[in-house]
Amino acid sequence: MGSLEEAIKQKEFKDPYNKLVVNILYTHSYLVSAQNGILKPFDLSPEQYNVLRILRGQNGVPTTVSSIQDRMLNKMSNASRLVDKLKAKQLVERRECPSDRRQVDIMITDKGLIILNDLQTHMEGFNNQVINLTGEEVGLLNSLLDKLRG
């Protein structure tokens, strides 16, 4: 991939903090674009994939749209719209909550679980291919990003 300066054809940055912000944004775009290539044959967006992973993590326990929204990586995503799209693909179910009729429970379907299982190998390969760091460097970068978000 090369240096950020080469990638965006910029000679220098105002300061290293400015470069870091641009570098993180550019890297995010790079990762999302590459991930889209894996998800496209499965007719999923990264946000839909995120919802399916959240629901799989519920281990069969229903959850609400607002709970999904709270756990999404992209907080600007419209979880309700995403759930509707996944429902149309028969990857999730919406059910009226038996204890509160105003609440709707969301669960992943068997078809959704099968797609996630099929995708898992692709995503693990993608992660190993795209992250050109040692295990120690990965741990350090994770710590630094956690620290950055304060």
Q: What percent of the chain has pLDDT over 90?
A: 70
Domain boundaries, the chain: 8-122
**8-122, what's its fold?**
Arc Repressor Mutant, subunit A (1.10.10)
The two structure tokens encoding residue 150:
């304060």
Q: How far apart are CA 140 and CA 97, in angstroms?
A: 43
Kindly report, residue by residue over 93-150, the tens digit of the pLDDT: 998 867 777 778 999 999 999 999 999 989 999 888 888 899 999 999 999 999 999 8
Q: Are 1 and 7 in contact (CB under 8 A)?
A: yes
Q: How far apart are CA 16 and CA 39, in angstroms?
A: 34
Q: Are 70 and 150 in contact (CB under 8 A)?
A: no
Strand partners, 105: 95
3-state secondary structure labels for all residues of 76-145? CCCHHHHHHHHHHCCCEEEEECCCCCCCEEEEECHHHHHHHHHHHHHHHHHHHHHCCCCHHHHHHHHHHH
- The pTM (predicted TM-score) of the whole model is 0.86
Question: Model confidence at 90, in pLDDT bands (50, 70, 90)?
Answer: very high
Question: Model confidence at 1, in pLDDT bands (50, 70, 90)?
Answer: low
